[in-house]
Amino acid sequence: MKLFDVLKKLDINENLKEYESIENGVLLDVRTEEEYALGHIPKSKNLPLQVIDKAGKFISNKEDKVFVYCRSGNRSSMAQEMLKNMGYKNVKNIGGIIEYSGAIEC
């Protein structure tokens, strides 16, 4: 990571293009079940931050690329660190759904 990468704004739309190009990628929404039910990115799996320890339910291989989002990017940042601490090797915080410009699924 470069010095100023921390200040760089996450672009969920660009990161979703990367997700779609990866064969075994996993898209995780770490918002609450209620937030997820109100609208989420198609193909995403809901794994609220409070139960991130259940990640094996959606990610069978700890080498798979995991893309994590929430509402604004804060919870997904925490989830990224937690998943890395659990041994997941390729976890990327892609930001918040509030910046998402695509179709929403309910």
Question: Which residues, 6+ apart, have CB-to-CB distance to 29 below 8 Å?
Answer: 36, 40, 41, 44, 45, 46, 47, 69, 70, 97
> pLDDT per residue over 28-64, tens digit each?
999 999 999 999 999 999 999 999 999 999 998 999 9
Q: What is the pTM of this model?
A: 0.91
Q: Is 61 helix (H, G, I), strand (E, B) or coil?
A: coil
Q: Is 25 helix (H, G, I), strand (E, B) or coil?
A: coil
What pLDDT, on a 0 to 100 scale, did the predictor assign at position 8?
A: 62
pLDDT band (50, 70, 90) for residue 14? very high
User: Structural domains in the chain?
Assistant: 15-99 (3.40.250.10)
Q: Residues 19-33: what's their mean pLDDT?
A: 96
Percent of the chain at pLDDT > 90 equals: 90
